[in-house]
Amino acid sequence: MISTYPKVSGKFLIDGKWLEAENKKEVINPANTQEVVGEVALCTKEHVDKAITSAVTAFESWSQSDIHERAEKMKVAAGAIEKIVEENVNLLVRENGKILVEAKKDLLRCVDIMREASDELLTWWQPESLDGKQKVQIRRRPRGVTAVISPWNSPMILTFKRVIPAILTGNTVIVKPATSCPLTIMIFLEKVASYFPNGVLNVVTGSGSVIGDALCKDSSVRTVAFVGSTETGKEIMKASASNVKNIFMELGGNDAAIILEDAKLDDELITKLRFGILRAAGQVCSAVKRVYVHESRYEELVEKLRKKFQYIRIGSGIQPDVEMGPLNNQSQYEYVKGLISRAKDGGAEVLTGGIKIDPEGWNDGYFIEPTIITGVNQNSEIVQAEQFGPVIPILSFKTNEEALKLANDSHFGLRASVWTENEKKAIAFADQLEAGAVFINNHTVFQDLHLDFPGLKESGISRETRHCSLEFFADTYGFAN
């Protein structure tokens, strides 16, 4: 019943007011598509225009606020957010498909982002004097209205990593959450917004083509931060070109894991590789999506990974013993199923595993078993595509030079990993791999929230950050005599 929906269901936020939309769309549980979790408002261009006006007006005063005031407000908001984490874990699981432990970790990391970025602001914002005959200072100032267009795969942390530094650096923000799972992020943003002046944080939901196009084409919006597919990223670049916005984009990935001849294929390493492939059911931009293994270790790796996949417990993330949930939406589900089917039709061997926690309810959700694909080549669709699901093609190589060439043979360049007992060899690979970051004997994320590294090629437009992404949302200028 509608009375059980979250209070933000079907609403959007402009100038401190939560408004009801005339048109709405259901938000469903990907683990049980018969369950409606809530509704998402389908905002119009007129709603976007009002949100931009609100943000422009609020920027006049918020941009002049003291950095200590901004940091203190954010820390108080972080405390309030921390208190509602536990009660919203289940909602995130139900609308997104994550398992409980992943969902809770994401929500707690949002609190960490708020606190760490607030502390970082107080030192990073200070003017920096340069040595030399001329007096030169590097100073910073807020840029203006910021649009944050966030994805469905990790809606919480990927939104907070952009919204929070944007607000702290004195900007006003308009957030466009993903339509398939907007509810938890809206509850959290509602709480954050209540600690700041009206108009500093606005939320509009609905069609990406309507909302995104309006935000990108309006000259009052000075920055667009987008996380999502490379195809959509290209459209955002086109729409933003007429007014030359600052654009920061984390796009697709087709990460390669290279298993060298001397790799120690023990249980610890295989477990790390499994996690790098299947975290969030493979719906992670920086998940392993291709494995290249030395020909002498090929059969050993395939067999060990197959056995590890066999014991993955798959089902609704609400169940505490589940290790992998469903795909988030029907479109992605059908895409991944199609990739697997076409690979099989083309002669590939398809190895599936996993334990179905609820076999009777399996077809009610967007579930796909962990899948290993062998018998394919570099040009196969399943190898060249970003699968974004629990499927992994495994190919062999003869020489290290061949492995490097195969790994770099992609339009993407987000992350990569080298698995070897020789760190010098891994560094030699890393120096030549076309990826924004390279891991050794792991394929993971940077634990330090101050750090991030951009993807190369078609995996994004950004730059290295050591300061919680604060530098993405402020203008740096020189002051000299």
Single-letter code of the amino acid located at 404: L
**Strand, helix or coil for residue 357:** coil
Q: Which two tokens stand for residue 386?
A: 């970003």
Q: Quick check: is 235 catalytic?
A: no
β-strand 460-461 against 246-250: which pairing, if any? antiparallel
Q: Which two tokens stand for residue 420?
A: 């070897």
DSSP class of 324: B
Say how far apart CA 381 and CA 325 lie, in whole Å.
25
Burial of residue 108 (number of CB atoms within 10 Å: 0-12, 13-18, 19+): middle
Q: For residue 108, what is the enclosing H or E element?
A: helix 100-124
Residues written for the chain: 481
| Cβ atoms within 10 Å of 326's Cβ, excluding its own | 28
Q: What is the DSSP string of 113-167?
A: HHHHHHHHHHHHTS-EEEPSSS-EEEEEEE--EEEEE--SSSHHHHHHHHHHHHH
Scan for tokens 């060439």, then name that residue.
405
Phi, psi torsion values for 221, nearest 5 degrees:
-85, 120
**Nearest-5° angle of CA 419, CA 420, CA 422?**
145
Residues 6+ apart with CB under 8 A from 352: 309, 369, 370, 371, 372
Smallest CA-to-CA distance from 261 within 415, 395, 393, 400 is with: 400
Single-letter code of the amino acid located at 316: S
Say how far apart CA 257 and CA 430 lie, in whole Å.
12
- The catalytically annotated residue of 39, 116, 120, 250 is 250
Q: Which two tokens stand for residue 43?
A: 């905002």
Phi, psi torsion values for 169, nearest 5 degrees:
-85, 10
Q: What are the beta bridge partners of residue 40?
A: 25
Q: What residue ranges in 216-333 does DSSP mark as E strands?
A: 221-227, 246-250, 255-259, 288-294, 313-314
**Which residues are known to be catalytic?**
250
